[in-house]
Homo-oligomer: A and B are copies of this chain.
Amino acid sequence: MPELRKDPVIGRWVIIATERRKRPTDFGVKAEACVLDTTTCPFCEGNEAKTPPEIIAFRNGSPPNSPGWEVRVIPNKFPALAIEGDLSRRGDGMFDMMNGVGAHEVIVETPKHSCNFDEMTERQVEQVLWAYRDRIIDLKKDPRLQYILIFKNKGRDAGASLEHTHSQLIALPIVPKRVSEELKGSREYFNFKERCVFCDIIRQEIQDGSRVVAENQDFIVLSPYAPKSPYETWILPKQHQSSFEMVRPDQMPQLAQTLHRLMLKMAVVLGNPPYNYMIHTAPLHQDPPHYHWHIEIMPKLTQVAGFEWGSGFYINPAPPEDAAQELRAANV
């Protein structure tokens, strides 16, 4: 019998379609070839002149925009938002608009041409996480901004236009809708229970065990109870933290290990799929007791997204207990 399950944070129902149940190989993932074109790739070491001047880079003492770096952050060459200007909120008849002010940056994750997390070391992943944190702390100073969205598109089918492994950052004068929904849902839960809903989820999932993919001292990896897409997976800090930049320096290596191993497991179980991940964190300058930052990882396995994001109605052919079991079992 198919099940309708309700997301405990935002209240969305999804169908876990048991009659259409799919195994990892049923999705027919075609891993994309990685073309080692290091002469034209603008993200490769030595090609720094092909990008706008860098914002920050972790360097061995070499001058900006030259070789000798580990992680490099640059402005997006085709930014969705403009960094200069003011918001000028205004009406257009019954409609509302403002100027598209904000930042759009690219985090180049490694100087060597590589398409996958697999080829990076845990130490490199940790450097990437530090770069995320440094950029958040710097952009927080801009009073026009309300939210910083950090995400990664891997593979053409997940929206990446360049294959050299990179993440993106978009700093916004508004809070994105999905995060607003999580803030609202978790606030309502807190008002009723006086507890963080994410903390409660973690406690119940550890007790139950069937949807836990991995854990170490400070982080847990879960297949959520009501996932909107197959093999959707969340990483959460076990102790309450509202914002990503609150991760303590001594926790960073653990977080890097957690993310790196999960991506290796995804690659093994699903055959190197395209994917998206994004960090859901509290709005800037807020530390709500009801919100708990986390990373959502969504491999792109099905093509139905168009209809689903238009209706808000999701049919998931992979029960999260099955997904967790396979990811847990994968040896990496």
> Could you tell me which A residues sit within 8 Å of B by CB distance?
1-6, 8, 11-13, 15-20, 78-82, 85, 92-100, 149, 151, 153, 156-159, 170, 172-174, 176-181, 200-201, 204, 208, 225-226, 228-229, 274-276, 278, 296, 298, 300, 302-313, 315
Contact in complex: A20, B306 (CB < 8 Å) = no
Contact in complex: B310, A80 (CB < 8 Å) = no
Task: Report 30 cross-chain contacts, Cβ distance below 8 Å, ordered by A residue.
Answer: A1-B99, A2-B79, A2-B80, A2-B82, A2-B99, A2-B100, A3-B98, A5-B95, A8-B95, A12-B177, A13-B174, A13-B177, A17-B81, A19-B79, A19-B82, A92-B225, A95-B225, A151-B311, A156-B303, A159-B303, A159-B307, A176-B312, A176-B313, A177-B311, A228-B309, A276-B306, A278-B310, A278-B311, A296-B310, A305-B309
A244 to chain B, nearest CB (A): 14
Contact in complex: B178, A310 (CB < 8 Å) = yes
Complex-state Cα separation, A172 to B13, whole angstroms: 11
Contact in complex: A96, B8 (CB < 8 Å) = yes
Complex-state Cα separation, A85 to B1, whole angstroms: 9
Contact in complex: B99, A158 (CB < 8 Å) = no
A73 to chain B, nearest CB (A): 19
Contact in complex: B311, A179 (CB < 8 Å) = yes
Closest B-chain residue to A228, C-beta based?
B309
Contact in complex: B308, A309 (CB < 8 Å) = yes
A231 to chain B, nearest CB (A): 12
Closest B-chain residue to A173, C-beta based?
B4
A212 to chain B, nearest CB (A): 14
Contact in complex: A307, B158 (CB < 8 Å) = yes
Contact in complex: A8, B305 (CB < 8 Å) = no
Q: Which residues of B contact A94 (CB under 8 A)?
A: 8, 200-201, 204
Q: Which residues of B contact A298 (CB under 8 A)?
A: 306, 310
A261 to chain B, nearest CB (A): 21
Contact in complex: A208, B93 (CB < 8 Å) = yes
Q: Which residues of B contact A12 (CB under 8 A)?
A: 177
A232 to chain B, nearest CB (A): 9
